[in-house]
């Protein structure tokens, strides 16, 4: 599914939360509503394969190429961090 990113984002969390939640729900259908500050790694919602899939979704969403070498696990730890890293 391709999502359109807004032209200007001042707080990317509300924009990005549905994308990440939809991605995670495909893998964890019984997941409770997603808190933007929930540690996705510590709660085992993201693993190494999920990182790559999520990066591809973020590329589609932002229209920007994301080089895997430039991204670490901490860049994808919470929705808030993802928004700060990729939407600002």
Q: What is the pLDDT of residues 12-66, one digit of tens each?
A: 678 888 888 999 999 999 998 999 999 999 999 998 889 999 999 999 988 999 9
Task: Please state the pTM of the whole predicted model.
Answer: 0.77
Residue 4 CB burial class (10 angstroms; 0-12, 13-18, ≥19): exposed
Confidence of residue 86 (pLDDT cuts 50, 70, 90): confident
Domains of the chain: 12-86 (1.10.1200.10)
User: What is the 8-class DSSP label of residue 72?
Assistant: -
Distance CA 87, CA 17 (A): 12
Question: Nearest-CA neighbor of 14 among 64, 85, 79?
Answer: 79
Radius of gyration for the chain, computed over Cα atoms and rounded to the nearest angstrom: 12
């Amino acid at each position: 599914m391709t999502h359109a990113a807004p032209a200007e984002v001042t707080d990317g969390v509300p924009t990005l939360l549905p994308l990440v939640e939809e991605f995670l729900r495909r893998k964890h259908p019984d997941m409770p509503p997603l808190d933007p500050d929930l540690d996705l790694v510590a709660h085992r919602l993201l693993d190494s394969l999920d990182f790559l899939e999520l990066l591809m979704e973020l590329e589609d969403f932002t229209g920007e190429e994301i080089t895997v070498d430039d991204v670490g696990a901490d860049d994808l730890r919470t929705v808030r961090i993802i928004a700060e890293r990729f939407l600002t």
